């Protein structure tokens, strides 16, 4: 093959590789040749592209087989009932809606699918179409979120759900793609994930009728004093992916946060179908820009479905800390949340890498002093996340982990979900700030479900608390639940997100430091006008009082 290429190059008088790469070349005596040199063979007006990326120009060297299909319906004909379908996307960002739409029209032919995705659309959008068409029998996902229809199906025993931590989900997909049968992870150790206590399917009628399919218990093992669980690889039959630019042989480029799970899923499946926003000629993409090499892609179709935004969030003229609701009760709630966020901001230092959970944690940056700037990491693939956009700055491909529209700071980087969770589990994040339903005196945290009543999903929370020796985990929450019961307890009553992971608890009443190893709380600060006795009365755990008790 190489001899054929060399002969083709010689016959067409192709110049040196250094010249084609734009590097300076030398003459026979070794002297550098200066000045711009243009090689016409690299220029073409085909398809409107004026230049191509290659170190040689030899059409004979490139296979002629192309992967572009004219018909979406024909491209998905091999998807059959019972298949395991991997669907890229995060919320509605980067979802392969053209392919999903086509698949939803085959509801009589294609049923009983197992769908693997971060979440299952929003309402009847995204994968929600297949939920409403009744084509999905089981979902393997990390998050349900606000999809009430999906939550209702699960709680009534009408669909199977295997809840998987977000980083573990992409890790299990990556494992099969790389030829590994399983891998050990600290995520989910000593929780319901390891115990297998979250039912995959309830009997018809829901929790009161019992469990139809129990959860999968995982093998646990200790390495260097830390507990890990063995997670099996997930093997997909078909991957449905959306990409920004795809050439005719399948090389893919994704845009901003629209990559998420797509690269890993495309590498995993027996059959990978990509819908491309732009299909470009071979050679028109820089090899340096390729996120997914064409070897993983089998079929390409033109994306025709428009991009969607799940939560359009715009920058406000006034910040949250300056909001003044007319309703006194709402104003009190705003003041309480701001008090907690303001105190949490004091834990951050200039240059820190920080991950913020959904809800109250997102308020923290507004209270940072001008001298403190941090890098915000979002688990869907952003480092250097900026504030909410103005109307003119909105971009459907730039969202945060809460599916809200955001912006990117100068110096930011984007990457796929596998890299994102490698940063998180590897302890490269300095601080993670999360909300919680309950926290124990030993630093256990519960924040993802109420069995039989509420299933929001695990999301990335279990991963974010999986390396507490390297990443400081701070919980921000109201001191008591709506019914007045304490949320800081001797032991959590709800399924754990992480065991002995929280280092600090900040509420509207107090700040606690957690000794995770001894399983003890120390009250370090109280809010103005709050007494230690009031804190004791509203806390369901024992605690010490610091000899240097401060005021929030």
Question: Is there a contact between 182 and 230 (Cβ–Cβ < 8 Å)?
Answer: yes
The phi, psi pair for 391, rounded to 5°, reads: -60, -35
Name the token pair of 335. Answer: 């003041």
Name the token pair of 295. Answer: 């070897």
Is 59 labeled as catalytic in the residue annotation?
Answer: no
Contacts of residue 383, Cβ cutoff 8 Å, sequence gap at least 6 = 353, 375, 376, 377, 412, 413, 414, 415, 423
Contacts of residue 140, Cβ cutoff 8 Å, sequence gap at least 6 = 114, 115, 116, 117, 161, 162, 164, 169, 234
Question: Is there a contact between 512 and 344 (Cβ–Cβ < 8 Å)?
Answer: no
> 3-state DSSP: the chain helix, strand, coil percent, rounded to 5?
25, 25, 50
> Dihedral (C-alpha) 487, 490, 495, 500: value to the nearest 10 degrees?
110
Q: What is the DSSP letter of 317?
A: S
Name the token pair of 168. Answer: 């573990």
Q: Could you give the CA distance from residue 438 to residue 541 in angstroms, rounded to a whole number?
A: 12
Contacts of residue 229, Cβ cutoff 8 Å, sequence gap at least 6 = 184, 185, 186, 187, 188, 189, 193, 194, 218, 219, 220, 221
Angle (CA) 300 382 264, round 5°: 40
In the block, residue with structure tokens 């040196």: 16
Q: Could you give the CA distance from residue 543 to residue 490 in angstroms, rounded to a whole number?
A: 10
Name the token pair of 105. Answer: 């029209």
Displacement of CA 395 from its chain's centroid (Å): 17
In the block, residue with structure tokens 């050990």: 184
* 406 closest CA partner among 325, 315, 471, 485: 315
Name the token pair of 290. Answer: 């390729």
**DSSP H or E run through 513:** strand 510-515
- From the candidates 277, 379, 404, 508, give the one annotated as an active-site residue: 379
Name the token pair of 391. Answer: 């109307």
Q: Could you give the CA distance from residue 446 to residue 448 in angstroms, rounded to a whole number?
A: 6
* 525 closest CA partner among 502, 501, 506: 506
Q: Residue 364's CB: how many other CB atoms inside 10 A?
A: 25
By annotation, the residues acting in catalysis are: 379
């Amino acid at each position: 093959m190489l001899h054929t290429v060399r002969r083709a190059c010689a016959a067409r008088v192709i110049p040196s590789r250094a010249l084609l790469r734009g590097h300076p070349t030398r003459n026979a005596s070794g002297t550098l040749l200066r000045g711009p040199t243009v090689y016409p063979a690299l220029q073409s007006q085909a398809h409107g592209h004026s230049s191509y990326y290659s170190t040689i120009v030899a059409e004979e060297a490139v296979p002629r087989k192309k992967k572009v299909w004219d018909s979406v319906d024909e491209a998905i004909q091999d998807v059959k009932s019972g298949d395991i379908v991997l669907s890229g996307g995060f919320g509605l960002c980067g979802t392969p809606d053209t392919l999903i739409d086509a698949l939803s029209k085959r509801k009589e032919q294609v049923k009983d699918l197992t769908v693997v995705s971060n979440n299952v659309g929003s309402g009847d959008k995204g994968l929600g179409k297949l939920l409403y068409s009744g084509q999905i029998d089981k979902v393997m996902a990390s998050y349900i979120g606000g999809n009430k229809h999906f939550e209702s199906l699960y709680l009534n025993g009408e669909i199977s759900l295997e809840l998987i931590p977000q980083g573990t989900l992409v890790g299990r997909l990556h494992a099969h793609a790389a030829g590994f049968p399983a891998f050990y992870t600290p995520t989910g150790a000593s929780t319901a994930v390891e115990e297998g206590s979250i039912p995959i399917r309830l009997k018809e009628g829901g929790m009161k009728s019992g469990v139809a399919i129990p959860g999968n218990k995982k093998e646990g093992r200790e390495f260097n004093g830390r507990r890990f669980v063995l997670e099996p690889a997930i093997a997909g039959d078909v991957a449905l992916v959306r990409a920004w630019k795809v050439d005719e042989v399948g090389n893919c480029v994704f845009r901003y946060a629209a990559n998420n799970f797509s690269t890993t899923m495309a590498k995993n499946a027996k059959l990978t179908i990509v819908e491309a926003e732009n299909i470009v000629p071979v050679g028109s993409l820089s090899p340096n820009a390729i996120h997914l090499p064409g070897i993983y892609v089998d079929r390409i179709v033109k994306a025709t479905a428009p991009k969607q935004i799940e939560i359009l969030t715009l920058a406000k003229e006034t910040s949250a800390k300056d909001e003044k609701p007319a309703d006194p009760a709402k104003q009190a709630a705003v003041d309480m949340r701001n008090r907690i966020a303001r105190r949490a901001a004091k834990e951050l230092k200039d240059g820190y890498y920080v991950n913020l959970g959904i809800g109250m944690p997102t308020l923290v940056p507004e209270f940072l002093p001008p001298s403190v700037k941090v890098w915000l990491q979002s688990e869907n693939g952003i480092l250097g996340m900026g504030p909410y956009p103005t109307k003119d700055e909105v971009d459907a491909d730039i969202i945060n982990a809460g599916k809200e529209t955001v912006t990117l700071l100068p110096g930011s980087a984007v990457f796929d979900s596998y890299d994102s969770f490698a940063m998180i589990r590897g302890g490269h994040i300095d601080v993670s700030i999360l909300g919680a339903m309950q926290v124990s005196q030993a630093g256990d945290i519960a924040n993802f479900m109420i069995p039989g009543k509420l299933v929001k999903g695990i999301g990335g929370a279990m991963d974010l608390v999986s390396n507490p020796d390297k990443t400081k985990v701070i919980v921000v929450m109201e001191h008591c639940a709506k019914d007045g019961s304490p949320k800081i307890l001797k032991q959590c009553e709800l399924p754990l997100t992480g065991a002995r992971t929280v280092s600090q608890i900040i509420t509207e009443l107090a700040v606690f430091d957690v000794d995770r190893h001894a399983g003890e709380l120390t009250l370090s600060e109280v809010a103005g006008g709050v007494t230690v006795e009031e804190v004791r009365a509203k806390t369901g755990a024992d605690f010490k009082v610091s000899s240097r008790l401060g005021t929030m």
